[in-house]
Amino acid sequence: MNPFKYHRAENLQRAKDQQNLDENAKYLGGGMTLLPAMKHGLIQPSQLIDISAIVELGEIQVDAVSVTIGAATKHDRVATSSLVQKEIPGLAYLASQIGDAQVRVRGTLGGSLANNDPAADYPAAALALKGQIITDRRTIEAEDFFTGFYATALDDGEIIRKVRFIKPVQSAYAKFKQAASGYALAGVFVALYPNQEVRVAVTGVGQGVFRWLAAEKHYFDSSQAIDLPLENLITDLHATSKYRAHLAKVLFNRAVTQIKQYT
C-alpha cells in the first residue's frame, strides 16, 4: 500500500472543501472495499477523507411514503433499526445478511452503492424499492444510478448524502452466499406495491444489478415453476451462468412465498 494522507471531516462542507484541494483524494466510509483495493494496488489515492463521523450522514428518517437512510449508516444499524424493521422488513433483513458481523459494523450503505460491486446486496434493494440516491448536488433515481461494472452516475467528488426508499406493501430478500466472502452468488429482492405493482431486482448473477422484468410480469402467475428467462449472466470460479440462473429462480420463488404469507 502506498503512503497517503488521512483527514477526518467534521461536516459535509469540510469534506467537500478537502476534496476540492486534492483531486486524487477519495472519500472513506467503512472502507470495506476501498482499503482492500488499496492493499492490492488497484487504486492509489493521495488522501483519504473520512466521512463516517458526519452526523447528518448517519440519520434514519421515516415519513408517510418513504424511509430515508443516511449514507454513512452502518449495515448493522439498518439491520437492527426498529424503524426499518417495521416499515421495510425486507431491507432490514438484507442488511443483516451482508458479509459477517465485522463487515456489518464497519460497512456503510453509501459505500456499498457508490462502489456498485456486481455481487453487493444494497443495489438490489435500491432498484426494487424505487430508491433515490440523494447527493450533495442532485437526486438520482436508482434506475439511472447503476451504469455498469463497478460504475455509477456519480461525478468526481460527488458525495452520497442519503438514500430514499419508497415503502412497499410488503418486501422480501432471498440470497445465496458465496461461502468465504458473504457476497451474493445470487440475490433477489421482491417488492410489492399497491395496484399489483411488482418490482424484482437481481444481484450477483451478472455484470451488475438489474430489474428482472419477466419475474415481475409473472409474479401473480399460479405456477411458480414457469421458465423465466435470464440473459447475459456470468461464469467464474464460484459458479457457472447456468447455476446462477437456477439460483435466481429458486430465490425468486422463496421471496414470493415469503411475501404471500403476509399479504
Is the pLDDT at 222 greater than 70? The verdict is no
Q: What is the pLDDT of residues 26-58, one digit of tens each?
A: 999 999 888 988 998 888 999 999 999 999 999
pLDDT level of residue 100 (50, 70, 90 thresholds): very high
Q: Do 32 and 107 meet the contact criterion of CB atoms below 8 Å apart?
A: yes
Q: Measuring CA to CA, how many Å separate 237 from each of 98, 207, 229?
A: 21, 15, 23
pLDDT level of residue 226 (50, 70, 90 thresholds): low
Neighbours of 79 (CB within 10 A): 18
Q: What is the pLDDT of residues 168-179, one digit of tens each?
A: 999 999 999 998
Average pLDDT over residues 190-200: 96
Burial 207-238 (b: 16+ CB within 10 A, else e): ebbbbbeebbebbeeeeeeeebebeebbeeeb
Cα–Cα distance measured from residue 202 to residue 127, given in angstroms and rounded to the nearest whole number:
9
pLDDT level of residue 23 (50, 70, 90 thresholds): confident
In the chain, the amino acid numbered 193 is Y
Q: What is the pLDDT of residues 149-188, one digit of tens each?
A: 999 999 999 999 999 999 999 999 999 999 888 899 999 9
Is the pLDDT at 227 greater than 80? The verdict is no
